[in-house]
Amino acid sequence: MSPNLSPSTPQRSCTLPLLKRTPSRTTLSISHSVKKRRRVSIATFDIEAELGVTTAPQTAVEETDADRFLAARFTTSLPLNTTPRTNRIAKAFGLMDDRVLNYGEATTPPVQTKVRSLLRRCASELLSVPRAASTISAKSNLAVRKQFVMALDGPGISRDLFASPMAWSHSNCICVAFKSNVYFQNLDTRAIVHLCRVSLMEGLVHSVDWDNKTNPHILALGTTNATVQAWDSLTQKQVADWSNDKSPVGGMHWNENVLAVGRKDGRVSLFDIRTPHQIQEVEGHKRQVHGVKWSPDGRFLATGDHTGSIHVWDMRARDHLTINDRRVLMKHDGPVKSISWAPWQDGLLATGGLFPDGKIQLWSIHKATTSLTINTSTNITSLHWSPHCKEILSTHGSSWGPWHVVRHAEPLPKQAPRTAFTNSMTVHAYPSCDKIVSVNAHSAVIGHSCIGPDGCSVFTVSPIEETIKMFKVWSAPAEKGKDDGGLGYQCTIR
């Protein structure tokens, strides 16, 4: 029988009370992310429309060059790599589209003014200082004053284009050969001395050359009848006579006590001032040797003959430098008389050819290839490197045109044209070979020239004009230790 339940009696529940579970970290993160998504996913609205404010459009930047190290694109439509190969590749991949291969037209009009670019250009123009010519260069000396410094009379000088009738000693004496007589003048005292006179049997004086710093008062002379003598300018007496050979003399040059003499039969004879006989003989040429020049260190001897062949002989190895088992190291298309070694670079040799060559070629004996060529279409009678700067001087005679150059033609045409190099003294820059200055030193052919002991002045001689002139071509560098006006202090990097 069920008991009676009154309303005032509380009713007991039969179910167990619910436990409040603490959510795990995973649940929290999920619920938190859901709420966060709900919070951030609020519908966006237009602030300008709600507030009723209109903002001014952003103005275009005047400077279009974002980076001064990167070039800006062109505003005009230019093809981008539209080469036939590019078109084939683009067609194979289905990329034949103007959007890919071409620049598009600028959507905005190009800016008319570029403030930063203008400022940069103006600043660069203000800060850029034009490079002044070096005071050593011929551009600051011969180009400024093209007139000669001194002029001497020279009647009776040999008109042979292959002769070397003049030389300048380290003791500042200029020597000139007049037919059978040899004179020299001391440029410090201006005293003129008649050194010697050769007999008619010995022929005419063809070449003269002073010894170097070892014996600056010793002069060697060679005649057209194979006479080779050495004279002392202080005592005016003959100190050596090497006239046992029958071959006429060509060019000659001293190397301390050793004298190299070119011969008409192609030999080069070596004499020592301390011995009365020939000490050695160098063979290799087939025709007369016109040019003979020792290198500044005395190791190499360069010679040029009538066929244009250039040989270089190694003094230490006692043999020629060879190329592919050949002794001919270099070649011109005409006779070679002018040879000069660069005093500031080892193995750099300059040679000049006569008609029909007319070229100055700059060689490196270590590479055995022609590095640079200057075409003048004019006889090159002498070459001189500047010891103070990288410039080379050349003296010239008659010129010719392309129609005058005939193979195996020896004499020059009777009516030779005049060019910028005709009868001139020209200075070239190295290695650009640009013409720095050209002076018409004489009204006739310049037969020979010699450089002074200071390396700044040059004497030129014109046998037809019978005049000897001295020009100041370069300047010597300033001595070390002099005040440079504070330049060294200003250029100090701290």
Average predicted confidence (pLDDT) for the chain: 80
Condensed to tens digits (0 to 9), the pLDDT of residues 369-378 reads: 667 999 999 9
Please answer whether residues 303 and 337 qualify as being in contact, where contact means their C-beta atoms are separated by less than 8 angstroms. Answer: no
pLDDT at 5 over 80: no
Q: What pLDDT does 365 receive? A: 85
- Please enumerate in sequence order all residues whose Cβ is within 8 A of that of 393, keeping only pairs 6 or more positions apart, or say none: 138, 383, 384, 385, 386, 425, 426, 427, 428, 449, 451, 458, 473
Q: Give yes or no for residue 195 having a pLDDT over 50.
A: yes
- Confidence category of residue 12, pLDDT binned at 50, 70, 90: very low
**Does 305 have pLDDT greater than 70?**
yes
Pairwise CA distance, residues 449 & 252, whole Å: 14
Task: Band the pLDDT of 433: cuts 50, 70, 90.
Answer: very high
**Model pLDDT, residue 184:** 97
195, two tokens: 């050194």
Over residues 241-248, mean pLDDT: 92
Res 178 pLDDT > 90: yes
Gyration radius (Cα) of the chain, Å: 43
Q: Distance between alpha carbon 48 and the CA centroid of its chain, in Å?
A: 70
CA–CA gap between residue 373 and residue 357 (Å, rounded)? 11
| pLDDT at res. 403 | 53
Distances (CA, A) of 201 to 160, 224, 227, 270, 321: 19, 10, 10, 23, 38
Given a cut of 50, whether residue 27 has pLDDT beyond it is no
Lowest mean pLDDT among 64-68, 339-343, 383-387: 64-68
Q: How confident is the model at residue 494 (pLDDT cuts 50, 70, 90)?
A: very low
- pLDDT at position 131 is 66
Question: Distance (Å, rounded) from C-alpha 349 to C-alpha 301?
Answer: 11
Rounded CA separation 451/474 (Å): 11
111 pLDDT more than 90: no
The predicted-structure confidence for 199-220, as pLDDT tens digits, reads as follows 999 999 999 999 988 899 999 9
